[in-house]
Structure 1
Amino acid sequence: MKRNASVALLLSASLLAACSSTSEPLDKKLDYKTDGPKPQGASLEVPPDLTAPQIQNKYTIPGSGTASLAAMDKAEQQQAKAAPVPSADNSGVLSKVDNVAMQRDGNQRWLLVKGKSAAELWPQLKAFWQDNGFVIKSEEQDIGLMETDWAENRAKLPNDGLRKLMDAVGIGGVYSTPERDKFRIRLETTANGIEVYFSHRGMYETYIDEGKSETMWQPRPSDPQLEAAFLGRFMMRLGLNEDQARQEVKQADAPVKNARAQIEGDTLQVVDGFDRAWRRVGLALDRIGLTVNDRDRSKGLYFVKPAKNELDPKGKESGGFWSSLAFWKSSDDKDSTSIKEGAEYRVQVKDAGEGRSQVQLLDSTGSTLNNSLSKTVLSKLQSELQ
């Protein structure tokens, strides 16, 4: 990707990022914009929770021939009676959800929403991310998975006079930061309500030659604070005011508990009951770069593949975006312990009783893997589940 930012701009963006990491999640400055054009037709969609404009014939002359004033008044009254009464769901205002709370376990956060079905939340989630400058790259409502495209937080750009001038003449796009973000959204239906998860993936652009003429995208750690910022904003979207959302975020910032995950042989032992372990493993998989294509909660199975290289056009030769994580890729393509391109694996979560669970990596046939690949994947999960 073409690099437009100057060295001074990159330094200032880095300083802004460093400063923002110490503030509360809802204080983060967010102004995202996705590179490239939006999907065709997106601008013409009727926003969720808004009804399509009603086509009325109130000025049509009733009957044939001439119409009297009394006849016209009578027709208008009949149409008024037939018109739907505005409600919280069709008046253009998102219906308020009283029972929404932020949950936290370790450095993982999610929302628990009561009184709404997954089908009702789905269009609100889609509109929320679009309104925040993201393009929806993929959505699978039947399994509760949505993913945004990569986007740039332009709030990290300096807001100086030169940029304002270039924005005014329509060439503000020459300013760019060396960071991109995307999010994976997941819904889980539980006995207590709908759980909403936002998992962040980030990357930064770096020079790969001494002459600084060529760049490559590299992964950067997921940002739990950024996840919390968007979760808090979505709570406000659901009807909470800013003070209520801040209070929920603050209550969720409980101290991190002691280590609760240990590797024993080919199994990761987790000090969590099945329900909690299931949700935490799902979010951890997104964070470590294993894409969940499907899941079967009744069997405790996540069907996963390594996330594809999406931005670096050089792909394998330059290392690619996710390849530098290196836990699924061996320098020897014949190494049986490396994840093969396009291969599918399974991550199984089992209830071990007494508030404990077990996590294993399986191959596509359901057989347990016990090799260096399994140990590395479980090690990555262990770090996320502490």
Structure 2
Amino acid sequence: MKPVLSALTLGVLASLSGCGYLIGDEGYFRDRGSDYQDARIEPRMTVPEDLRSKPIGDLLPVPGQVSAGSVSEDGFETPRPQPLLASADTAAFSLQQDGKQRWLLAQMPASDVWPLLARFWSDYQIPLAQSDRALSQFATEWIDFAKVPGNPLVRRVMPTLEEGRGIDDEEQRFRVRLEPGVNTGSSEVRVLHQNRDLGDDDSEWPASSDIAGFERGLLAELETYLNQSIANQNGGQGSSLANSGPTQTTLEQDGAGNTVLSMSTDFNRAWVEVGDALSRGDVLVTDFNRSAGVYYVDLDQTRSEKEEPGFFSGWFGGDDEEEEASADESPIQVRLTPVSNRVEVTVDAGIETAADRTVAHDLLQKIQSNLNEGPEGGALLLPR
């Protein structure tokens, strides 16, 4: 009985395919390979002003023109999609996050990362209490940031201190640990921060960082430094981020008349130098997103207005409620964009909105004037 039904089914299908009911251009099982040519390009979504986002390019863009070679006698041949650019994933070191946990993923074994970390502490002149290769971890001495405001690492992690949090009469230390990565030949860099009151004898490391911003700031600085070190090694250069020469910069205008600061360097170095320039220019950085290349700044206040008299006293705070109420809901964005062999710095009011031209020009001019002109960070002198 079954062979009879199978033969009958094949006969019915063959008769139906002749009229195109199932397999023809209008059939149910028609070829859908060219349907994308009829797709409509919709305008991009508009993100509400109170939210932040970073641009995402078209992952599989529809080709604007089809070459004649794609059309044969048998009809249109669907072109193969172009491979996605994966440059962001090929960095030797990249920041990773899972919930509240952050770490640095290294595409190399821990044995190769260790000497780079050792050189990091030396270049930034941070004294170490522990450098144990057997345990694969470094631990810094206790540091009073108020005594070393010119140190490059202190300058770069201080803007990550959350608003309303003061560190006067406190000292800080970091632990950096190397762990094997999930993939063969990879490793992970974990950072732990601890703080205590001056004169305290607390020496037990906490389960998680006391100040998450300091952990995040050190990880970001390590990512920049280590990637730059790998680039210098591959290029046969011996310079480091902390001791490299000045960057050539020019103020230009784009086609819309907006001011653009062009920096003749790579993104890693430009990111560090712009952050330093903002700090030296007394510009208040409220947040940053290195992956998107954006510093969020508040031009209605300055860094010094957030301090009480003295070195780093009352950072971001005190008890003045008026300062909290004046927080800018839409901070100005200083955006770094890699273009060919340079980095372009622009000032935006939003993801697709340019800032006021006068404000943008003045801020970029301030950044340019403060690039590579600040005091050099000295060695950390710890009290005896």
Structure with bigger gyration radius: 2
TM-score by length of 2: 0.33
TM-score by length of 1: 0.33
